Amino acid sequence: MKLFANWHRMLTLVIVSALFVSVMAAQNPYDKFRNKEYTNKGYMSEQDELKLAEQVHQELLKQMRLVDDRSINDYVNRLGQNLAARSERRNIPWKFYVVNDKTINAFATLGGRVYVHTGLISATTSEAQLASVIGHEIGHIVGRHGLENVKRANSMKTQGAVIGATILGAILGGQQGAEAGMALGSLVAGGFLMKHSREAEREADFLGLYNLKNANYNTGGMIEMFQMLQQVSKGGGGSLGSILASHPDPREREANTRTEISAYLQGTDRRGISNSNEFQRLKGLVPTAQTSTPARKTRPRP
Ligand SMILES: [Zn+2]
């Protein structure tokens, strides 16, 4: 009887310990990304990804207006290249674009293409804040999140049309036919490419934070960014683009960032680059009265 009681107690202890360990592990949502390897395995080849990225870019150009100011473009490109060079995907040609749109937003497609809205530049108050968003977008491309979305769209039916593997094959094969155009239109205008899961967003935050730190930025810039997003969303969030619409609650994102910094990156929120004269100059250059009306809105062709 005593033996049973001891066994019983031991079993309880084991169960309680196991629960404790799993609760502790669950406290850091970034743990699952910590030792991940990033490759194109399971997705299309990198060569095809780069090809599709260019086709998506051409499609996007029909829907939005890029900023035609060399100093703005050069600055954002320099900032982006510096971050990408410290990412886990250094061997692809990275391209950073500034979109003339007053909403606070940025997005990434595939194969090294990142797009930053002028509204984001206007809303940020330091280079580290802007770098944190660009780092997050680079994270989407390192994490192959766009490729994951393409894969998902492959088996999805939209408005009666299937963006099937064969149609994507047609795009990659360079065909200009109606089917290829329709698939590309659905992928871009339908928003499939940039609609990431919450988990993918967390991973991009994780990768973005380390990207920021590795480029010697003050990681507090990311915390400030999430605080700014909270403020803007409190005011109704009208000026926010998809950053908030499809991303986890900025309070959760701030908490995750703080947890990671205190566990693994202590002090990095107190040192490193916060701002630069160039950033202040950029703020003065960005037009304030932009229009978010695209030159021509395209929808997936019927
Ligand atoms: Zn994101």
198 alpha carbon – ligand 1 mean position (Å): 9
Distance (angstroms) between ligand 1 centre and the Cα of 207 equals 11
Q: Identify the pLDDT of residue 298.
A: 40
Sign of CA dihedral 230, 272, 204, 102: positive
- Position 295 pLDDT exceeds 50: no
Å from CA of 146 to ligand 1 middle: 11
Show me where the domains of the chain are located: 38-285
Nearest Cα to 283, choosing from 134, 95, 115, 127? 127
Averaged over 13-28, what is the pLDDT?
66
- pLDDT-derived band at 60 (thresholds 50, 70, 90) equals very high
What is the number of other CB atoms lying within 10 angstroms of the CB of residue 66?
A: 16
* Bridge partner list, 161: 158
Contact present, 149 and 192 (Cβ < 8 Å): yes
CA 77 – ligand 1 centroid, Å: 19
If you measure from the C-alpha of residue 136 to the centroid of ligand 1, how many angstroms do you get, rounded to a whole number? Answer: 6
pLDDT at 251: 95
Q: What mean pLDDT comes out for the span 287-293?
A: 53
Q: Categorize the per-residue pLDDT at 164 as very low, low, confident or very high, splitting at 50, 70 and 90.
A: low
Whether the pLDDT of residue 245 is over 70: the answer is: no
Residue 270 above 60 pLDDT? yes
Contacts of 133 (CB under 8 A, 6+ apart): 106, 116, 120, 124, 208, 225, 243
Cα 33 from Cα 139, distance rounded (Å): 12
